[in-house]
Amino acid sequence: MSKYELAVVVSAKIEDEERAAVLDKVKALVEKFGGTITDVDDWGKKKLAYEVQKMTEAFYYFIHFEAETTTPGEIESRIRIMDNVIRYLCVKQDEA
């Protein structure tokens, strides 16, 4: 099992309950495909480096998990079509 970090940028235009639902859905995807979540880091609302979909701010979440090598591809294919996720990135962490 490898360690991964999934960065998710969620729209700031939605309500708190919707944002929590989006985060829960992403966490459920990780667990559905055999991942084990070790940490969820909530950075809160931050200014975007450039305007995305006419937004200048968004909420940042970093989910650390352990999974097999096929899991990140499955997760990304599902996150890609989620409505309120404006950006995402899953990277493998070094073992060191």
CATH code at position 8: 3.30.70.60
Say what the pLDDT of residue 1 is. 86
Position 96 confidence tier, pLDDT thresholds 50, 70, 90 = low
pTM of the model: 0.89
Number of structural domains, the chain? 1
Could you write out the DSSP letters of every residue in the chain? Answer: -EEEEEEEEEETTS-HHHHHHHHHHHHHHHHHTT-EEEEEEEEEEEEEEEEETTEEEEEEEEEEEEE-TTHHHHHHHHHTT-TTEEEEEEEEPP--
Domain of residue 67, residue span: 2-92
Q: Does residue 61 surpass a pLDDT of 90?
A: yes
pLDDT tens by residue, 15-43: 999 999 999 999 999 999 999 999 999 99
